Amino acid sequence: MKKNKANNNTIALNKKARHEYSLLDKFEAGMQLQGWEVKSIRAGKVNLTDAYVFIKDGEAYVTNIGITPLNQASSHVVCDPTRTRKLLLHQREIDHLMGGLDRQGLTIVATAMYWKASWVKLEMWLAKGKQEHDKRDSIKDRDWARQKERMMKHS
């Protein structure tokens, strides 16, 4: 019997991103990681809430991903939990991201980290920041959808 892979390959999620941003275009990138980081990721010690993607000199980087070092894996290495990590993207993807950044108000938001085979992948979206009234509208829409489901269920 085949296992459901959707549950066990997710490492970390940024649930706040869907509330704070309108997500437009999705991208998937690999990351340059050190050995102690991979061991900590396997142990699930990752925090994506403040992750920020930026482009410098034609290359994409992510910063503020908190990877807590394991004591036994990082005793001989100097560990920086929030160091800037290079993202592995094709040039056309970087060009597309740069075009989105040049437009007014768009940013790149890291939403998830997951395993794809033996590789760690970062899911990121080209996104537009929501105003306060946009957030309230999306909450109202979500509540109304829930109420419709309840009414349909009881009918």
Residue 75, pLDDT score: 61
Q: Residue 89 in contact with residue 56, Cβ under 8 Å?
A: no
pLDDT digits (tens, 9 = 90+) for 11-49: 999 888 888 888 888 999 999 998 888 888 988 889 998
> What sign does the CA torsion over 108, 50, 48, 19 have?
negative
For tokens 């979206």, the residue is: 125
User: At a CB cut-off of 8 Å and minimum separation 6, what does 47 contact?
Assistant: 12, 65, 66, 67, 68
11-130 fold: Small Protein B; Chain: A; (2.40.280)
CA-nearest of 54, 49, 154 to 111 is: 49
Distance CA 150, CA 72 (A): 50
pTM over 0.85: no
Extents of the domains making up the chain: 11-130
Q: Can you tell me the mean pLDDT for 119-145?
A: 85
Q: Can you tell me the mean pLDDT for 64-68?
A: 89
